[in-house]
């Protein structure tokens, strides 16, 4: 696996999405951002759309740096997973099969009736893989952005309950909105901009006392994390009948266990007669590749959008 190299993609600072709701079969209202984009190819045939799925605890706005680069080139939709962002948060429905069906519902509700490239960040990668299976030959490709390929008990060494406890933020970070924003800005001041501030604001709710709490409710977090641990991604990826790219954050240093898990998924897929998985390392960056390397994420998605149809 070598570091990935793609050409630069310029963001459109003027682009802004419209928000819409679509209803799942169980009545859950699912919110999505529609960034627009061309509906057809130059020859008039239907174009390939893009559906982007956020990670655990993340709102649709987390994909804005990538969506700004894609919207002028392909129809681009970003979904809020049920329980996150502006989607409803019912007491059930956080298994990966239901979440994958939700993603298909969003694609169809947004009018992306043709082929779709799916991309998911972290836990959103597992959801995207399930949606890819549900779409069948409508799926034109799948990009897993630093997640969706690993058994977390293998790569983290943690059980479900310990992982859940690790999601808690220090009290001083949650003491005020200013403290929360300062903490998020400090991850990498050079990439902090209006999109990052909006994402950080969307991820919390300010209380009357001036503190902040996570916007995603506890029952949603627990259910999603248990779904993350319950499934072996290699078995799902083996059932995807479309090209797959894994973008692996290679910062400081790349854990050998994560590399091994990505390789295991590729080998499992080949063993059942499928094609391999393109595994690429994005060097010197952390988990949030949409923030730290949006041009690389965008180009990996665009490569599948523009690939010749098989």
The domain spans of the chain are 18-155+218-305
- 126 token code pair: 């597992």
Q: What is the dihedral of CA 98, 101, 102, 104, to 10 degrees?
A: 170
Q: What's the CATH number for 18-155+218-305?
A: 3.40.50.1820
Look at residues 278, 309, 305 and name the one whose alpha carbon lies nearest to residue 49. Answer: 305
Mean pLDDT per 10-residue section of the chain, whose length is 310 residues = 52 95 98 90 76 98 98 96 98 98 98 94 98 97 98 95 97 98 97 98 97 98 98 98 96 81 97 95 94 97 89
What's the pLDDT score for residue 297? 97
What's the pLDDT score for residue 308? 85
Residues in CB range of 17: below 8 A, 6 or more apart? 33, 34, 35, 36, 60, 64, 67, 78
- Rg over alpha carbons for the chain, rounded to the nearest Å, is 18
Beta strands at 212-214 and 18-23: parallel, antiparallel or unpaired: unpaired
What's the pLDDT score for residue 9? 75
pLDDT tens figures, 45-103: 678 999 999 999 999 999 999 999 999 999 999 999 999 999 999 999 999 999 999 99
- Give yes or no for a contact between 55 and 100, defined as CB atoms under 8 angstroms apart: no
Residue 7 CA to chain centroid, in angstroms?
Answer: 22
What's the pLDDT score for residue 1? 44
pLDDT tens figures, 115-146: 999 999 999 999 999 999 999 999 999 999 99
What's the pLDDT score for residue 5? 43
């Amino acid at each position: 696996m070598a570091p990935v190299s793609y050409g630069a993609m310029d963001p459109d600072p003027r682009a802004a999405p419209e928000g819409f709701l679509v209803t799942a079969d169980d009545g859950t209202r699912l919110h999505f951002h529609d960034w627009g984009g061309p509906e057809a190819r130059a020859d008039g045939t239907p174009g390939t759309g893009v559906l982007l799925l956020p990670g655990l605890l993340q709102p649709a706005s987390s994909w804005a740096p990538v969506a700004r680069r894609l919207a002028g080139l392909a129809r681009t939709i970003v979904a809020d997973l049920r329980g996150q962002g502006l989607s409803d948060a019912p007491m059930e429905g956080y298994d990966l099969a239901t979440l994958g069906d939700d993603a298909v519902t969003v694609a169809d509700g947004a009018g992306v009736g043709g082929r779709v490239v799916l991309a998911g960040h972290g836990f959103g990668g597992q959801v995207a893989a399930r949606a890819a299976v549900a779409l069948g030959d409508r799926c034109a490709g799948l990009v897993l952005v630093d997640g969706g390929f690993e058994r977390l008990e293998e790569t983290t060494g943690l059980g479900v309950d310990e992982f859940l406890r690790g999601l808690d933020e220090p009290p001083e970070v949650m003491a005020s909105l200013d403290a929360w924003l300062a903490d998020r800005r400090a991850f990498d001041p050079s990439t902090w901009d209006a999109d990052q501030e909006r994402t950080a604001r969307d991820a919390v709710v300010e209380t009357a006392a001036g503190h902040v709490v996570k916007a995603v409710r506890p029952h949603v977090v627990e259910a999603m994390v248990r779904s993350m641990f319950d499934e072996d991604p290699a078995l799902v990826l083996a059932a995807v009948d479309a090209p797959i790219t894994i973008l692996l954050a290679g910062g400081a240093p790349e854990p050998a266990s994560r590399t091994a898990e990505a390789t295991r998924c590729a080998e499992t897929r080949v063993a059942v007669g499928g094609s391999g998985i393109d595994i690429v390392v994005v060097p010197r960056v952390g988990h949030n590749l949409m923030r730290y390397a949006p041009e690389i994420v965008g180009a990996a998605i665009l490569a599948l959008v523009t690939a010749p149809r098989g």
